[in-house]
Structure 1
Amino acid sequence: MLYTIAIILLVLWLLGMVSAYTIGGLIHILLVVAIVMVLLRVIRGERL
């Protein structure tokens, strides 16, 4: 479930890179949230 959310946020970030700059800030914040979530899972040692 966590990786699904991270992939969705990554896709939204990529779409934000090619779309208007007005939503670019929000997309970058979502990308940072996705990276933090994945890092927390890796640090905790949870299995995929």
Structure 2
Amino acid sequence: MLRWALIFFIVAIIAAIFGFGGIAAGAASIAKILFFIFVVLFLVSLLSGLLRR
């Protein structure tokens, strides 16, 4: 999932360079959402691993 966030972030940067503001904003927001989902899933798996021990 972190890979998808990185891909959307790169798409947003490329779109911003070429002047496509709407596409850049959309890709950046998707990348941000995917990154936060990744962080939440990482924390949940980290806590579940600690609780199993």
TM-score range with shorter-chain normalisation? Answer: 0.5 to 0.7
Q: TM-score, normalised by structure 2?
A: 0.58
**In 1, Cα distance between the equivalents of 2:33 and 2:6?**
10
Unmatched runs of 5 consecutive residues or more in structure 1: none
Long gaps (5+) in structure 2? none
Deviation at 1:14, TM superposition (A): 0.7
Runs of 4+ residues over 4 Å off in structure 1: none
Count of residue correspondences: 43
- Give 1 or 2: higher helix fraction: 2
* Structure exhibiting the larger radius of gyration computed from Cα positions: 2
1:18 aligns with 2:14: yes
Q: Percent identity?
A: 5
Q: TM-score, normalised by structure 1?
A: 0.62
Amino acid at match of 2:29: I
Q: Amino acid of the residue matched to residue 28 of structure 1?
A: A
